[in-house]
Amino acid sequence: MHYIQIIYSLLDKNTRHQLFLLVIFSILISIVETVGISAIMPFVDVATNFENIHQNPYYQWLFHLFNFEREISFAIAFGFVLFVFYIFRGGINLLYNYLMANFTAHLYAHVTKKLFKAYLSMPYQVFTHKNSSYLTKSIITEASLMSEIIHGALLLVSEILVIAFLYILMLLVSWEITLVLSIILAIKIVFLTQTISPKIKLVGKTRAKVQAQFYEMINRLFGDFKNIKLQNRARLDATHLNFAKAIDQYANANATHTYLTSFPRLFLETSGFFLIIALLTSLLYINQSDVSYILPVLSLFVLTLYRLLPSANRIVSGYNLILYYHRSIDIVDEGLSVAQESFQDEVIEFNRQIDLKNVSFSYREQSVLNNINLTIHKGDKVAFIGKSGSGKSTIVDLIIGLYQTDQGEIRIDDSLLDESNLQHWRSQIGYIPQQVYLFDGTIAENVCFGRSLNKDLLNKVLKQANIFDFLQTKQGTETLVGEKGIQLSGGQRQRIAIARALYGRPKILVLDEATSALDEKTEQNIMDEIYQISQNKTLIIVAHRLSTIRSCDRIYELKDGIVSKKDMG
């Protein structure tokens, strides 16, 4: 019931409507299946003994209704109608399977889009506590598995209905035989669900755990490949061994799942054939003669069992699939339950100053900033320095709206920075980080970063970042950078980051230790260029090296959560 509530909450009104229609369709399919099986017995009854046509009032009524002159014509017509019906049965089953597949595929897309939107709206402070490989796995793998669970659940409902209708048919034909078969099959299904299913649920938990582990290892490998290559042989072997161990556990979980899910089918099929043979043998022993008199009834039971056994197997398999992948529902639900920002986009103007008034902030219940008061005027070049962990990046994240204050307030001119205008405020920020993210695409794609292409603006910012001339020696703005900018030097990557920041026409440029990984000469060149570019902009810098910030108007030092103005003289 817990998982049903989660799944129901994930579906929108339209998807719920589609799900309801599929359930109704599954009832229709079950009725068609039951009619298909039940029609066999009267056909065999008529085809094996024409006298039955006149002895059965229903056959007799149909015989005269359609003015049949010969019994064989009636039997052939009966067979032709049955043939047409089975074509219809096959067509309607194909349609049902198509609708099921279409529903499952679009459900995956629906859940994936909701997950992506949830993560996109996740507060930055919450994101810093997350593992990116886990988030990636949730979107790509777990959402897909959850849709497979719902697909399996729908099939399970359909098969249960088929069994229910066929069971009623069997009771009407011979409740004695049906009761014996029911008791035997019930014992077997209870045996399967009590012995096999718990093991499948256990390996399902193992699957989710180890899959997350090797996702993380793969991300670690490709995320810092250069550092991995510089490790000694023992460390490389250990890295490979850890991955091999995780992937072996994952493979073992899948192998165990495959084996355990195949067991019910073989077990039920063997049991079904045993029951049929046992039934025939018992009738022969009891009557001490042939059993042709019961051939129609026997045909019905044989065909019903032939149809019931796969249904029973699919029910057990569907149930086990749900148990094996049940963690996917929890993981998707956790992803959609993550805290989300819902900021408005009211315009907030920055014409005079930024004021921090009595601002305090804590991180994981540890105080980082205490009662901060400072003012940054428009056009100022301001730097924050301090030891690692002193809070200099935190105060900048508060200013640019990535973090929200615990106490105090931030005002832009006379407007309070809050949920009503925070989105618009962020759009005025040009951010240049220390670790530049470049994806495997062209210079143009990396600078635009999802924004519409303006060639004139693109060329302008590349010139401002002093990388335009270098690109002319390559393929211009179509130059490929390689994954994480591997085709570029560190200085060139920083210049692409500067161009990306400028492309948004920001009012404020923020450098968060953006040049600390560069050599001093390259750093000095880039900083000179940044100061030149930001003449008409507000510049906020987080830095370790004092040489980086020598041209700033004011420098603030953070220590023990307190900010103080530093005299460079």
Q: Which amino acid is at 357?
A: K
The pLDDT of residue 357 is 92
530-544: pLDDT as tens digits: 888 888 889 998 887
User: Long-range contacts of range 559-568, CB-CB < 8 Å, 24 or more positions apart?
Assistant: 559/386, 559/387, 559/390, 560/370, 560/390, 561/367, 561/368, 561/369, 561/370, 561/391, 562/370, 562/372, 563/369, 563/372, 563/374, 563/384, 563/395, 566/385
Element (H, E) at 354: strand 353-363
Average pLDDT in the 243-266 region? 76
The pLDDT of residue 113 is 85
Least confident span in 213-222, 226-235, 252-261: 226-235
31-71: pLDDT as tens digits: 887 787 777 777 777 777 787 778 878 878 888 888 888 88
Answer for the pair 480, 494: CB distance below 8 angstroms, yes or no: no
Question: Is pLDDT above 60 for 247?
Answer: yes
- Classify 2-336 by CATH class: mainly alpha
Average pLDDT in the 79-102 region? 86
Least confident span in 265-274, 333-342, 376-385, 409-418: 265-274
The pLDDT of residue 355 is 92
Question: Is pLDDT above 60 for 569?
Answer: no
421-463: pLDDT as tens digits: 888 888 888 888 878 888 888 999 888 887 888 999 999 989 8
Domain boundaries, the chain: 2-336, 353-565
The band of 284, judged by pLDDT with boundaries at 50, 70 and 90, is low
The pLDDT of residue 456 is 92
Average pLDDT in the 193-200 region? 76
Beta carbons within 8 Å of 11's beta carbon, 6+ residues apart: 19, 107, 110
Give the span between the Cα atoms of 381 and 508, in whole angstroms: 10
Give the span between the Cα atoms of 1 and 21, in whole angstroms: 21
Least confident span in 246-250, 367-371, 404-408: 246-250
Give the span between the Cα atoms of 528 and 551, in whole angstroms: 9
Answer for the pair 477, 454: CB distance below 8 angstroms, yes or no: no
Average pLDDT in the 376-382 region? 91
Question: Is pLDDT above 70 for 294?
Answer: no
- CATH fit for domain 353-565, picks 1.25.40.10, 3.40.50.300, 3.55.50.30, 3.10.20.740: 3.40.50.300
% of the chain exceeding 90 in pLDDT: 5
Listed ranges 110-124, 330-344, 462-476; the one with the highest mean pLDDT: 462-476
Beta carbons within 8 Å of 426's beta carbon, 6+ residues apart: 400, 401, 402
The pLDDT of residue 289 is 56
The two tokens of residue 540 are 């906020």
